[in-house]
Amino acid sequence: MAEYQNTGLTASGTTVIGSALVKVAATPNALSSGTNIGLCRNIVLTENITPYTTQADNGPDPLEGVSEHTATITFDLLEFHPPTFDEIRGGDLDTEVTSTAGSYITGTVNTISTGGLTALTDKSYLFQNVKTVSGATVETVIVVYKAHLNAGMAFNFQSDNSDDPLLAVPCTLEAVCDTTRTKGDQLFLIETANNQ
């Protein structure tokens, strides 16, 4: 992954995270050897909190809390590889075949077809940012414990003469709390290098 030198910062600078390497795996424990999903852009992770209050007629609200805690992850995938795309989508929604005889393309192809299957399998995702600050490498990692597909694919074909001719495939995931984990550590984890 390319690293860019931010010469105006100190090693202790706490800057906003830049681009990220994205991996997907069946569980958080498998992310170190998970699948690199390829080049992406416009990666956005949004934490969603739905608060609740219990009201009393004659006094202050006795209870306040969070009724729902989720996250939405969106990104544009720039490398469309059917086996990887199938894994991003959970592996159960599609039929994916690697290295088979093409029906419409001459030679060996990779295929993904969909429709009729409704299972959604949660996956874990890792977003890793590495940057160079004043000669030192600093790293930030976000791990989403349990996320699944939340929107279907959309192909917006570009002109061959466009300034940016790549067909970016938008992906939307919803992360939910993994209730098998300890409370307070069920949705996602952010690790930032100590020298950042």
Note whether 128 and 55 are within 8 A (CB): no
Which pLDDT score is estimated for 15?
56
Alpha carbons 7 and 11: distance in angstroms, whole number? 10
Structure tokens at 80: 């469309």
Which pLDDT score is estimated for 1?
47
Task: Tell me if residue 90 falls in helix, strand or coil.
Answer: coil
Task: Tell me if residue 172 falls in helix, strand or coil.
Answer: strand
> The pTM is what?
0.84
The residues that bridge with 80 in the sheet, in sequence order, are none
Which residue is it, tokens 């202050």? 60
At 17, is the pLDDT very low, low, confident or very high (cuts 50, 70, 90)? low
At 11, is the pLDDT very low, low, confident or very high (cuts 50, 70, 90)? very low
Each residue of 101-158: pLDDT tens digit?
999 999 999 999 998 877 789 999 999 988 877 777 788 899 999 999 999 888 888 8
Q: How many Cβ atoms sit within 10 Å of the Cβ of residue 44?
A: 10
The residues that bridge with 25 in the sheet, in sequence order, are 124
